[in-house]
Amino acid sequence: MKFNLQGSLFALFLGALAALPPISIDMALPALVPIAHALRVTPGMAQLTLSFFMAGFALSPIAYGPLSDRYGRRPMLILGLALFTLGGLACAVAGTLNLLLLARFVQGAGAGSGMTLAMAMVRDLFTGKKAQGRLAVITVVTNVAPMIAPALGAALLSSMGWRAIYIATGLCGILLLLAILCSLQETAPHQPPQHEPLITVVARGYRRVLGHRRAMAYIVLNALGFSWMFAYITGSPLTFIDTFHTSAALFAVLFACTGSGIVAGATLNGKLAQWGVGIKWLLLGGVITAACCTSALVILTLTGSMSLWSFMPLLTLTTASFGMVAPSAAHGALEPLGEVAGVGGGLLASMQMLFAAGTSSVVAMLFPRIGVLAMTGCMCTLSVLALALAIPLLRGAASTGVTEQHEAVLSLH
């Protein structure tokens, strides 16, 4: 039975594809110390499993995007999910840290296909309000996953050991692979036979996307939003547990509360889009909210007025603002790209992970020196940069149609 491409089941399927990276990262978080003990390495070395996964995920969309534009979304999804499944199962049987790191890199490279091609398929099938609604569903599903994944990982760890976590991720890959083989039809626009070398076609696709200033502005805007979220994710354990002295159980509850802000923001984004609110106004509302809330967090940090109850509302509003920004930024990036939507989706996924990895490193490096300001300062800087980028996009709203047509013509040459 084929998917109804207009139905809610297909929308959830796209969300599940995009949720593979957060599931794979967050389910494994409780297992880092047991992995270190089992493989006789330090916990710091075990944490490299996350870095290798993120490296594979950051790099692979650069290839999936243009290849899917030429050969189709379905073959690239099958390849990506096969890599994800094999990588997960290889992690489960790895006997040394080096083998585990290699397997995690392969798993990350496979996971990169999910988010990249989910975005591209939305662009293939939908435009306008419908595309915005589908992207909002993807954002909701993608951000529900990190809220439940650590609990699932902890349950598997306590009952069956750390290897069961990687077996579970492999099974997720198998289920999605079966869904694609049995139910997914090709969504990419039909391409006439091409006799040019692949490298020429790929270079032309990237030249077109990189030369499309508005699309790139939206891609960078999405990456900035994802990065202020990662600044919070990186700094939250030290902020809540070490600074506010919460228990691990309370931290999990508070983290889930702030995570629910993303779901609320993305849901509101989809509703407002259906009611005819333009993406630029949704973006501007999201980044203004983020800039105001993170500025307040910095003021509280610098004045020594920090408390759990003053931080929580501001952090929740900041995460909700990301839920507002992400679907609109993705829609704005992919809408004008047409037959090179795969390249656009690949850049969207790669850049948000590269920005987030850099932000995470900065927060981790600065936190021992300046404390909570490392988190709040990075969040504020990134949201203010996003606001500075969003304002020119809004100013150009009146001439969007003419500008984008002109840029599209130029980018073909």
Quote the pLDDT of residue 207. Answer: 84
Domain match, 132 and 217 both: no
Q: Note down the domain range covering 176.
A: 1-184
Q: Is residue 265 within 8 Å of 324, Cβ to Cβ?
A: yes
Say which amino acid occupies 78: I
Residue 200, in any domain of the structure: no
**Alpha helices (runs of H) in 161-212, residue ranges in sequence order:** 163-183, 198-210
Residue 56, in any domain of the structure: yes
Domain match, 255 and 298 both: yes
Residue 164, in any domain of the structure: yes
Domain match, 167 and 254 both: no
Quote the pLDDT of residue 103. Answer: 95
Domain match, 111 and 163 both: yes
- Provide the domain count of the chain: 2
Quote the pLDDT of residue 292. Answer: 95
Domain match, 119 and 243 both: no
The contacts of residue 232 (CB under 8 Å, 6+ apart) are 258, 315, 318, 319, 375, 379
Domain match, 175 and 256 both: no
Residue 32, in any domain of the structure: yes
Residue 345, in any domain of the structure: yes
Residue 23, in any domain of the structure: yes
Quote the pLDDT of residue 194. Answer: 63
Residue 192, in any domain of the structure: no
Domain match, 97 and 225 both: no
Ordered per-residue pLDDT tens for the chain, 413 residues? 787 777 778 888 888 888 888 888 878 877 878 888 899 888 768 878 887 888 888 888 888 888 888 888 899 999 999 999 999 999 999 989 999 999 999 999 999 888 888 888 888 888 777 777 788 777 777 777 766 777 788 888 888 889 999 999 999 999 999 999 988 888 877 766 666 777 777 787 788 888 888 888 889 998 999 888 888 887 887 788 778 888 867 877 887 788 788 888 888 888 887 887 777 788 888 999 999 999 999 999 999 888 888 899 999 999 999 888 888 888 888 887 777 777 888 888 888 888 888 888 888 888 888 888 999 999 999 999 999 988 887 776 544 444 444 444 434 34
Quote the pLDDT of residue 298. Answer: 94
φ, ψ for residue 305, nearest 5 deg: -100, 20
Domain match, 162 and 236 both: no
Q: What secondary structure letter does DSSP report for 196?
A: S
* Closest by CA position to 173, among listed 94, 255, 109: 109
Quote the pLDDT of residue 407. Answer: 42
User: How far, in Å, CA of 70 to CA of 98, rounded?
Assistant: 35
The per-type count for the chain, helices as H runs and strands as E runs, is 18, 0
Domain match, 240 and 162 both: no
Domain match, 248 and 209 both: yes
155, 184, 213 - which closes a domain: 184
Domain match, 176 and 223 both: no
- Identify the CATH number of the domain in which residue 287 sits: 1.20.1250.20
Domain match, 41 and 8 both: yes
User: How far, in Å, CA of 340 to CA of 117, rounded?
Assistant: 12
